[in-house]
Structure 1
């Protein structure tokens, strides 16, 4: 369902179950903290040639990447026709030579013999949570096999899910331990970065200059999220099952 206020429009699978939120004054902005953290791939892939996304939702990440990474080709896979029908309501741009939204099963899509992306973003939730096929060992194995060497998978998980440790263990297994985990500072989302390639090749997150054509204000607004990622990765071990629990206990501001 769509909920609208004077300044926002949100996608909810049920009352209180917020999936996506759009600022009506700036429809391409990222308003939810976890979506800003998912853009942390820029610390390791500053100028990806191709991005694949599993899960459209309200299109926040798709719109943001389309606007700020104009040299990147973006493909979004969404299985729910009702979500696809809301495309115009959430100001998602039309298909073009560098942007397209496809209806399909993300778990099947990653097994197709098609060119591999540099970045694979996974945020494919439904009313029941993360579908079983998008949290299985086979799925994460397929993601690893599909990515270009040095490519990055970015997955949104929920710390509150009983299956969270199992999902992380599967990602660790598929990506041979080459994983970094960054929870939200004050929320229950946890972003997992997994890189295809030996752990010794994992780059250190570094300060970035604004990528070419990335809007100045958007880049400025992204800095707190990028700083949080650097801090978490520098202060905690690679053990993803413990990092999330430790950082998520940071008290929220009063």
Structure 2
């Protein structure tokens, strides 16, 4: 399995506190069946973890995992918050953050917590024109999406993917969040799953998310999601 959203890099946001905790998270993920983790530290007005730093921290963690014999590959990424349209476009054009893949085909594009950004459909179209598919993390945890699910449907219609978190599907983030996560699964709007793990307590648990999808939507749907996620890290062929 591939975890496309994980705050495993230590000391740069609200994720792992130490290298030891980063290693422990990777070990938990391995035991859960994960073999690739995209490290996605926050990129926002509070934690501006730019691409160079993320790549250095990723390489540092990978060396530690190799030394410890933990067969998990760490890939650089970011969870990029949409603070406003102008700032996001500027940061994108300047290459300030990491995409989820080396080719820049996918980016984890987070909404602000206070309110929905009405420029989102426009930015989805702008990114798609640049060859990048935005993946919106944990929409089930945003109150405005739960209150107005048509907003989710609008950005999906524009071409965005959604990422539902395993903790949401298992109820660890609350009943309202779980109900909306289930609603997304039932309507085939859970395009990807991830852990959004931050430490050894809010830990990697991707298999639990897939179990919940299988229970509600069947094995074929779970396999479809897994294939879509695997494609994020696959290098595009010359024909693409």
The two structures have a TM-score, normalised by structure 2, of 0.38
The two structures have a TM-score, normalised by structure 1, of 0.36
Higher strand share: 1
Higher relative contact order (CA 8 A, sep 6+): 2
Higher helix share: 2
